[in-house]
Structure 1
Amino acid sequence: MDNLGNAFWLTTVAAFWGLTNPFIKRGSRGVENIKRDNSVRQFLAELRFLFFNWKYLLPFVVNQFGSVLYYITLASADLTLAVPLTNSLTFIFTSISGRLLGEKIQHWETYVGMAFVVIGVLLCVISKY
């Protein structure tokens, strides 16, 4: 697969990861209220809470599908492109989806940072040609 095709799939992975992060955060609300008398029971109660909570489980499964796609794409991708592209774009997608869900971005510097991340990713992709 060529670098442009890899960049597409790695961007797709970043979208799967980033777009699901705020939903996973929302779906896990309430897990901190679970209290059990020992660590094993605590772990099992938290696991049960998350596993039977579709608001957590559905975005988690989609997120893990992104991880499978990432693993498959790594077979043909250049690691110097794969890691920075997916990690930085995941941040962008997380910020955008969080904002769409009503989370506030507190500082204008966040938007400037997001622009720099996008420019940096574009430079990484262009430099591979």
Structure 2
Amino acid sequence: MSLPVRDLCSLVLVSFLWGATNPFLRKGAEGLERVKEERSIRQLLSEARFLISNWRYVVPFLMNQCGSVGFYLTLASAELSLAVPLCNSLALVFTVVTGTFLGEDIGGRGK
């Protein structure tokens, strides 16, 4: 089982798009907890409006979704048993690196 270079590069790009956008999505969603409505359907609509109107959330979300489209397209030629663990593990690495770069507390260190 080997992965062609083109597929490998595509999966690394997908992992980057998934992983590097996670901390930005968390930052973009800050303040969502302050959206309060009395009815649950109005709460849902208010939260959706908050996220859709917030470019700090929308831009990383769209990049993340581009990663999903790339993953779907790459699966046409890549082996599933290699693609999924590779993407998920690299996405975690990119999430930790990006989160650390942004100053997030990623835990795991003694204080």
- Give distance in 2, aligned partners of 1:64 and 1:48: 19
Give the match for residue 17 of structure 2: 16
Helix, strand or coil for the counterpart of 1:106? coil
Matched AA of 1:63 = N
Question: What's the % identity of the aligned pairs?
Answer: 49
Shift of 1:66: 0.5
Give the match for residue 91 of structure 1: 92
- Give distance in 2, aligned partners of 1:24 and 1:95: 14
Matched AA of 2:39 = N
Give the match for residue 58 of structure 1: 59
Shift of 1:27: 0.2
Shift of 1:3: 2.5
Say whether 1:79 aligns with 2:83. no
The C-alpha deviation readout for 1:82-129, integer Å capped at 9, x for no partner, is 100001110000000000001133325xxxxxxxxxxxxxxxxxxxxx
Q: Which runs of 4+ in 1 moved over 6 A?
A: none
Greater fraction helix: 1
Shift of 1:5: 1.9
- Give distance in 2, aligned partners of 1:26 and 1:105: 14
Give the match for residue 33 of structure 2: 32
Residue segments in structure 1 that go unaligned for 5+ positions in a row: 109-129
Please, what TM-score do these two structures have when normalized by structure 1?
Answer: 0.79
CA RMSD across the alignment: 1.4
